[in-house]
Amino acid sequence: MFKGSYVALITPMHDNGEIDYPALERLVQFHIEQGTHGIIAVGTTGESATLPFDEHVEVVRQIVKMAAGKIPVLAGAGANSTAEAIFLSEQMASLGVDGFLSVVPYYNKPQQAGMVAHFTAIADASELPVMLYNVPGRTVVDMLPETAATLSQHPNIVGLKDATGDISRLKDLQALVDDDFILLSGDDATSKEFLCEGGHGVISVTANVVPKAMAQMCEAALAGDYARCRDIDAGIEQLHTGLFIEPNPVMPKWALHKMGLINSAFLRLPMVPPELASQKHIETILQQYGLIKG
């Protein structure tokens, strides 16, 4: 479990900011049909930072219900307060999720020992699997490989999403953790190299737009067909960069709106719609890939 292409799912909203649950169901069914291997519910791309507790839990509840056991669901459950992260995971533990994605605490700038204590407390509080998430570009601090290795010894901590974009980091981790510890890329632009160097999959923003291609790319790599993995990536590489020309999830929401999969590209403040130049840029890419009409 937790290998392959896991989509960092956006949270669709109406123009008034309320959650668009019919659109959310369309997205979940879209990923089931397209072969996505799993869903990350209310992570960074799902605008976890602007969903209050009750709404966060309800969106996860609905995604699990919509998935109906056909696809695994990992719930975003990170926080920069350990007590808050534990509380959130406790609220979602009975929803039927398959595990939690828990980010390195942001803003606080904890020491490496603080990260060990933080994630150990979270893992001790639940019997469900915990996937660590290291994204220093957002959290400021970087979980070092040695810290991840220490945490990998906890029976409930099963893997790491590494969003450093540094492939040498993968090699460092592989040398320190057991083979059954899941290593997932959190950086679409370098996910091909990550997979071809022995990574187990990717938690992908690009998969929001081209889920079948991302799933097939992961399947090829896991089967040892690295040439096919590279070929598939070459066919979608413009999306890896185009979807990040503005802070995530601005561009994925815009793309899905233009594709007709969601009714609105609404983002909660402080996120705002993309600049006109960004809109035109991603629309040109979508046209080139045949995802929207010219």
CATH classification of the domain holding 30: 3.20.20.70
The neighbour count for residue 278, using CB atoms within 10 Å, is: 16
Domain region containing 50: 4-233
Query: Does the annotation mark 293 as catalytic?
Result: no
The per-residue pLDDT for 63 is 98
Does 48 reside within a domain?
A: yes
Q: What is the mean pLDDT of residues 134-139?
A: 96
Does 224 reside within a domain?
A: yes
The one catalytic residue in 3, 161, 192, 258 is 161
Q: What is the pLDDT of residues 56-89, one digit of tens each?
A: 999 999 999 999 999 999 999 999 999 999 999 9
**CB-count burial class (<10 Å; 0-12, 13-18, 19+) for 87:** middle
Query: Does the annotation mark 161 as catalytic?
Result: yes
Q: What is the mean pLDDT of residues 89-98?
A: 97
Alpha carbon of 181 to those of 36, 59, 134, 222: distances in Å? 21, 28, 15, 15
For residue 76, give the 3-state DSSP assignment. strand
Q: What is the pLDDT of residues 167-223, one digit of tens each?
A: 999 999 999 999 999 999 999 999 999 999 999 999 999 999 999 999 999 999 999
Does 244 reside within a domain?
A: no
- CB burial readout 88-110, b (16+ within 10 A) else e: bbebbbebbbbbbbbbbbbeeeb
In angstroms, the CA 183 to CA 278 distance is 32
For residue 35, give the 3-state DSSP assignment. coil
The one catalytic residue in 6, 133, 192, 258 is 133
147 is in an annotated binding site: no
91 pLDDT more than 90: yes
Widest CA span of the chain, in angstroms?
53
The per-residue pLDDT for 294 is 78
The per-residue pLDDT for 138 is 95
Does 44 reside within a domain?
A: yes
The per-residue pLDDT for 139 is 96
Q: What is the mean pLDDT of residues 275-288?
A: 98
Q: How many domains does the chain have?
A: 1
Does 34 reside within a domain?
A: yes
Of 158, 166, 212, nearest in space to 185 by CA? 166
Rg of the Cα atoms in the chain: 18
Does 200 reside within a domain?
A: yes
Does 195 reside within a domain?
A: yes
285 is in an annotated binding site: no
The per-residue pLDDT for 256 is 98
How many residues are listed for the chain in this entry?
294
Model confidence at 1, in pLDDT bands (50, 70, 90)? confident
231 pLDDT more than 90: yes
Does 278 reside within a domain?
A: no
The per-residue pLDDT for 233 is 98
Model confidence at 279, in pLDDT bands (50, 70, 90)? very high
Query: What predicted TM-score, i.e. pTM, was given to this entire model?
Result: 0.97
